[in-house]
Every structure is written in C-alpha cells, then in structure tokens.
Chains A and B, each alone.
Chain A
Amino acid sequence: MTLEASFFAAPLSRRGVLGGLAGGAAALAMPHIARAAGDKPVLVTSIRSLSNPYHAIWKTGAEAFAQSVGAEHVTLVSEGNSEKGIADIRAMLAKTGGKMVLNSDPNDTPDARPIVEYCVKAGAYVCTQWNKPADLHPWDFNPYYVSHIEFDGVKSGSAITEALIKAMGGKGGIVALGGQISNTAAIERKRGLDQSLKNHPDIQLLDFQVANWKATEAYDLTSSLLTRFGDKITGIWAANDDMGTGALEALRAEGLAGKVPVVGIDGIKAAIDAVKNGEYAATITSDPFWQGGMGLSLGYHAAMKTFDPTAEPKEHREFYGRTMTITKDNVAEYIKTNIDAKPAYDWNDLWGRCEGQIRAS
C-alpha cells in the first residue's frame, strides 16, 4: 500500500494512473492516502457547454476562485450529453485518484445521482447545482456530498412578471416563451408567472409557447405571435434571456423594440444592455460567476477541513441562492461592478447567499 501511495505521489503518477485500469482501480481504493500527500485537490468544473454565455461566465468565476487559492482547475463540458458528462467525471476521478473537488451543473436531473455516487466512492468532494432528483440529499452522503444549490425559479419567474406588469402600466396582454418543458427550471419559472398573473386580473396571458431556451426559435415564434395577436401584445415574458433577446430582435424588425417591454432571466450581457436602452424591463441573474466559484469553494473548504459539512444544518446543505433583479433603476451600478470589472467576492463567505432550504416539490 505504501508502495502504491508513493507511486501516486511521484511526478509520473498521472501517466501511471492512465496507464491501465488496474492503476485507476487502485487510485479509487486509496483516496485517503493520496490526500495525505498534503497538496491541494484538483478543482473540477462540469458544465453543459461553453457556447452559452451563462456557462462561459460560470467558468470565469471558477477560474477566479482557483486562482485565489492557487489550485489547479479543469473544466469538463458535456455538450448536453449526459453519458459524456458522467464518463468525463469518472475519468477525472480515476486520473486524480479521487483527490478532487467537483462543482457540477448536471446535464439532466437523473445524472446527479451517478455523479454523486462516483465521487463519494472515490472520496472526492462534490457540489451540485440546479438539477438533482428530489430524494437525493447531501446529508445521506456525508461528508463528501457537501451542498446542492438552486435558485428559486418560482420566485424569479414571479419577480420578472411583476417587473413586466409594472412596465406595462398594470394592464394589457402578455405572450410567454418557455424553456424545454421537462426541465425543472422551465416548469418553476412558468409557475412563478402563473402565480403572479393571479394577482393581476387586468393582465391577460394571450399564449404560452415553448422556444426551447433558444434565441432563434424565439425570434420566429414572436413574429408569428405578432400576427396572431397584433397590437394586443403589450409585453413579452421569456423564461431566459436568450429567448428574450431573440423576441426583442423580432420586435425590432417590426419597429416595436422599446414599445413592447420584454423580460427574461439569466442576466446575459445583451439583456443588460437592453435594460439600459429601455427595451427590456428586467432580467434576473443567479450570478453564474458566483456559482462557478462558490460551488468549488464549498467543496474545497470541506476537503481542506476548514469546516465540517456534517455539522452544518440542512439549510446549508440544500439551499436557494440569492438572485438579483436588474431593472433600469440599478442597471448602471450593476454594469460598473459586474461587467466592467470582475466582481471581487469573498469566497470564504460560504453561506452569505443562503436563502433557506429548498422546498420539497
């Protein structure tokens, strides 16, 4: 065993582990010894794609945290393929001998279970965000499954609805563009829309369509919806900013940009500029920069024994993170701190953005 341990601590260990399944299996069996070598765990970010701005910012946040603690950082991209996402994580676990911290945005809800189980088996610390099965709980995988972070989609969906209605002057007709229907975020954001609409009888939901989170689909849908409802449309609700900005361009092609307010979620740059120009009533950001950094920070501090996840209350193990609504009132300030400069967050403030335990749905 000691022979194996020194083998993995040697400079050639990576090639050795990759050399064969036997090496990989040995590495999986011996995480504690490998960690005893003393240096820092490898920080691993697993996200869906780099072609959406949201995950691209996520990665810059992860890199900022890695730099702040001087640890190696690796990004894995699933390209929307669950098998690839999980296989890449397993390969990283074998390569690092479990001496790693994973911050994962699982491609699909069921993926979270194998991801967590492989990490726990290898002795790697893991945080998940957005997607996990309701019966998978961090406290059942002590101490390795540190936390799961989500953002209250109902609250966000409702907050942009309120902002939209305010911009519409309290009355008129809305068309709504939703995300993929099987997706938790899409379902919750729509629920938020429905909840808010109940309180505003003068607002009519003309139609709800699905644009699959994409600008191109939102563009075509919006122009068809303009035909169907014409001037009855006085506001457009989109479940994300990609669709929101696509809808905005369709409005622009008809000379309606700035006349029909649009809202979305995610806080992408184009949406923020549109808020500044008065074409967009509001967007919400979950702050992917923070998500990318904090998901790693939680795992890193658990791995370095700065805190003991098992001693934390449940509302620190499964929690809603704080979001920020950007409207014309605060857009200038936001651009100054988060876009023109890279935000400087205190990555040691682990629970500063906790907004309570995730409710059982």
Chain B
Amino acid sequence: MATQTNSSSLPQPLTDRAVRRLGRKRITRAALRAYAPVAVLLVLGILIALANPNFIELRNLVRVANAAAVPLTIAMGTTFVILLGSIDLSAEGAVAVGAMVLVLLARNDANTHDFGWLAVLAAVAAGGIMGLVSGLVQTGLRIPSFMATLGTWFIGLGLATYMLGGSAVRLMDPALRGLALNRFAGLPVAVWVALGAFAVAAVIQTQTRLGRHILALGGGEDLAEYSGISPARVRLLAFTLAGLFYGVAGVLAASQLGQSNAVIGDGRLFAAVTAVVVGGTALTGGEGGVFNTLVGVLIVTVLSNGMVLLGVSPYVQQTVQGLMIIAAVALSLDRVRQTIVK
C-alpha cells in the first residue's frame, strides 16, 4: 500500500452535507453487511435441520463446535491481517511449524523430549516468529503481503518437513492429547481454547490501541499515518499476532490428530479465508472484524457438516465451497467505490 504522498494530495475537509450523505449510506450498507451473515447462518441451520433432524442433536452441535475449533483459531489471525487490507497466505506453513514444534518438544515417538506444557508455549511462540518474519519481510523489504506470506508459507512447510524427517511424528503426552479428548462442560477442551482465542481477539479488536490502529490502517493508510500511526509497527504487530493464533491452531490440530506431519495445515488456508470473507470482512480492509469471522467460521463448518449429513456427493461439496467464497465477495464488494479490478 502506498505511503508516499505529498502535501497536495492531503485530503480536503468534507462539507457537512457530504458527511451526512456518506454517513447515511454507510450505515445502511454496514447494517446489511453485519446481519446478512447471521441470517445466512440461521437459514442454513434451519434448512439442514429440516432435512435431517440429527443436525440439531446436542451430540452433533458438539461435533460442529469441535470441527470449528481449529478453523476459528486460524481465522482470528487471518482476520486482523485482512482488516489491514493485506492478505496472509502463511497459515498452513505456520500451523505446520506450530504443530511440529509441539510434537517434537512434548513426549513423542521420535525423540526423548518431554517438556509438557512448555512445548505448547514454544509452539505458540514459533507461530509468532513465523508471523514476525512475514511482517519484517513485508515492511523491511517492502514486498507485498501476498508474496511475503507466500514465502513464509513454504518456509514453514519446508522447515516442518525437514524437522519431522519427512514422516508423521506422534504426540504421546496424555495431557496434551487431552486438549482434544477431554471435555469440560460437555465440550472438548480444544473448543474452549478456540473460544478463548476468540475472546482475546475480540478484546484486542475492541479494547486496545492496536485493534483500532489496524482498523484505521485498513480504512486508509495515508490518513492513519498522518494521524501519527506508524504503519510499519502496526503491520509487524498484526502479522505477529496472526502468527501466534496459527501457533495455537497448530497445537490444537496436533492434539486432535495425535500426530504432526508437514501437511497438517493442508486446506486450512482456504477454509480460513473463506470464513473471514463469508463473515463479511472486506478484502479491501478496514471493515468487519472477529465477530464477523466467528459467524463466517460457523457458516463454513455448518455447511460442510450439513452436506455430509444430507449425503451430498463429495465432488459437489468442493464446488459449493468455491461458489460460496465468490458469492460472498461479490455481495460484500462496494462496486461504486471500486473503479479498477486487477
């Protein structure tokens, strides 16, 4: 995003009427965008429940929650980056690194380490470092986020493949397996961890300066910079934050599968970006947030659970997911403001 401006391009103050006109239009559109995903989720839930009542069984809702845990945690990170108007493709690589660090440091069947919960800390930190690297590459070398994170994605995959010696290493620590296997108040612990990640993300977005700065930067980087925000610093923090969430997701994925391999993150990038976009966060940045993403993740998860319940052919399922992301972007784009498509 361009940060170079000169004084002649300083924004001119808007007239009162223009502000009012802009405000009214934005509010209705914003309201539509905020509630449309919730409506979609409800309609989807009702339709599936009508077709197969098993859907609303408590047991199945628990399964839906369990299937949503990892995507939700990943999508929390991706949301902040997309709010900036950037894109983060590194999720699969960072998840693989997080899962790899966890499994190699906790009790496993490849080495003699047994660091227990310290391994979890290390895994989350490793995810954070991956994010920090993405941020540094982007701000330091001035490489677009698309390329920078594509790079860290493959760095992460390579690293995980190399460290795991090309095979699957199993997680043998019963306490860590317990994240997926033990339940608290009827829900697997992993679901509580994902909800915790959501709560942290919500606090960051609504209660901290970083959260407001991310939104401000996504809304208009030059404006934000004139108001004294350092874009480089906010970017670094946002990407690092995303990496931390990917690290947590890596821990959850490894504990669910009881193993770590380099492809543990496969397919999760698509799910996360779909969830963010379907939830109503604009790819252009500055609009939406983690609450939208929670709804988006539920839509994506309910839909894939529902399609299996309804016996939809596996090949149609992928097509439906592809159509969904295109439809969501098509609905959320403000074409009036968009003059160039590239």
Contacts and interface: CB of A to CB of B under 8 A. Distances in A.
Given A56-B166, A227-B309, A270-B170, A220 B304 contact: yes
Contact of B168 (A217, A223, A268): A268
Contact of A228 (B160, B256, B304, B308): B308
Contacts, number: 104
Contact of A224 (B264, B267, B309): B309
Interface residues of A, number: 36
Contacts of B167: 52-53, 56-57, 269
Interface stretch (A65-73, A136-144, A245-253, A307-315): A245-253
Nearest to A224: B308
Given A215-B257, A227-B54, A227-B55, A51 B308 contact: no
A111 B59 CA distance: 46
B124 interface: no
Contacts of B268: 216
B308 A216 contact: no
B177 to A, nearest CB: 9
Interface residues of B, number: 41
B164 interface: yes
Contacts of B311: 207, 228
B164 to A, nearest CB: 7
Given A227-B63, A270-B259, A51 B267 contact: no
A277 interface: no
B168 A219 contact: no
By DSSP majority rule, is chain A's interface helix, strand, loop, or mixed? helix
B100 to A, nearest CB: 11
Nearest to A50: B166
A225 interface: yes
Nearest to B68: A220
Interface in B99-117: 109
B144 interface: no
B161 A51 contact: yes
Interface of A: 49-53, 55-57, 59, 181, 207, 209-210, 214-217, 219-221, 223-228, 230, 242, 245-246, 249, 252-253, 268-270
Given A181-B315, A224-B63, 14 more contacts: A51-B157, A52-B261, A209-B314, A214-B266, A214-B267, A216-B253, A216-B266, A223-B63, A223-B66, A224-B309, A225-B308, A227-B60, A249-B256, A253-B188
